Amino acid sequence: MENLSVLIEAPILLVQLVVGGILIGAIFALVAYGMALVWGVMKIINIAQGEFVMLGGYVVFYLSRAGIPPLAGVPIAAVVMYCVGLALYRIVIFRVVGRDMFTSILATFGISILLQQLANQIFSADIRTVPSTLPSLLFAGGLVTIPEIKLVSFAAALLVGFALIVFLRQTRLGRAIRATAQNDRAARVLGVDTDHVYAMTFAINCAICGAAGGLVAMTWFVQPYLGLTYTLRSFMIVIAAGLGNVPGVIVAGAGLGVVEEAAGFVLGAEYQTAFIFVLLILILIGRNLALARQRRYLK
């Protein structure tokens, strides 16, 4: 509790924790959009989500080695991962759409292990970093620092979220995706090519993860085994925000980031992850109670 008193004495640090947390949460939110999309439309929980992030990171890493500035590499990573997503859909994912959820979990779990090991073989297990070349902003005499790359990530998360909403509402494909999410059979009856919708959904998810991966490589590092962190965090954000709720994903992502930072500060880093999962369980219990009450009303 010593740490708590530090926080009370210097409340400016709270600003650092909140701002830092929101900015970290933005990257998680980015990954979570994709997961919510695939989950909502295809009824697939994609365990390989984190591995797509990892691959996106490697794309930006190799591009920056070839002399392309990392920030320019991020959209390229999205395009590359879009193609990877399309290929994965055509090879594996189309076989598990519409099957039991357990089958798709197994399939994507398999993909995740495969991608990890392939990355280990091809890129080696060395920890890679991409220089962000962006400075840090200092406030309050250095007590609050914001690396600009985190601001960029935050902006990217908002931008992608906004683009996603517009895309789903305004475009033909977007409407087809929403229709398929609501009722795939009815969509098919009305002439929607659901196979195409699934392929696009999965590829868009991969593209989003690819962009997130590029930002991760500039903020932290890439390594073949970094996927699980992102899969778990995005899973949790989606659970908390609910499917098909893009603003909710941003809020949940930012909230997760802030709570995680604060828990790390007050309780110590060893309880950081544990605290998050305790919170998840509490959210689920709370949800369950709320739902049970609704069920009672229905009777």
Partner 1 sequence: MTANRIRLAATFAAVLAAGIAQTAVGADDEIVLGAADSLTGKYSVNGKNTQDGYNLAAQVINDKGGVKVGNKHYKLRIVYYDDESTSARGAQLVERLITQDHVNFVLGPYSSALTKAIAPITEKYKVPMVEGNGADRALFMQGYKYMFAVLNTSDYYLRAAVTILADETKKAGRDPKSLKIAIAIENDNFSQDVRDGVIEDAKKYGMKVVIDDKLPADLNDMSSTLTKVKALKPDALFISGHEKGAVLGIRQVAAEKVYVPMLALTHCDSAQITEKFGKDADYAFCGSQWDPSLTYTDRWFGNPQKYTELFKKTFNYEPPYQAAESTAAVEVFADAIERAGSLDREKVRDALAKTNLMTFYGPVKFDSTGKNTAKSMVMYQVQHEKYVVVAPAKWATAKPIFPAPTWAKREAATTVGAK
- Interacting residues with partner 1 (CB under 8 A): 3, 6-7, 10, 13, 16-17, 20, 24, 116-117, 120, 124-127, 129, 132, 136, 138, 142-143, 145, 147, 149, 219-221, 223-226, 228-229, 260-265, 268-270, 272-273
Provide, rounded to whole angstroms, the least separation between the CB of residue 179 and partner 1.
38
What's the number of CA atoms in the CB half-sphere (13 Å) around residue 198?
Answer: 20
Q: Using CB atoms within 10 A of its CB, is residue 274 exposed (0-12), middle (13-18) or buried (19+)?
A: exposed
Location of structure tokens 């010593």? 2
Measured in whole angstroms, the distance separating CA 60 from the mean position of its chain's CA atoms is 17
- One-letter identity of residue 77: A
Nearer to partner 1, 205 or 233 (CB): 233
What whole-number distance in Å separates Cα of residue 255 and Cα of residue 9? 24
Location of structure tokens 């990892």? 54
CA distance between the termini of the chain: 47
User: Assign residue 250 a region: left if phi > 0, alpha if psi is -120 to 50, beta otherwise?
Assistant: alpha
Nearer to partner 1, 181 or 232 (CB): 232
- The dihedral over CA atoms of 258, 260, 25, 251, expressed in degrees to the nearest 10, equals -60
Nearer to partner 1, 145 or 245 (CB): 145
Nearer to partner 1, 11 or 191 (CB): 11
Provide, rounded to whole angstroms, the least separation between the CB of residue 61 and partner 1.
11
Provide, rounded to whole angstroms, the least separation between the CB of residue 41 and partner 1.
29
Provide, rounded to whole angstroms, the least separation between the CB of residue 118 and partner 1.
11
Provide, rounded to whole angstroms, the least separation between the CB of residue 269 and partner 1.
4
Nearer to partner 1, 3 or 171 (CB): 3
Provide, rounded to whole angstroms, the least separation between the CB of residue 142 and partner 1.
6
What whole-number distance in Å separates Cα of residue 221 and Cα of residue 218? 7
Nearer to partner 1, 224 or 248 (CB): 224
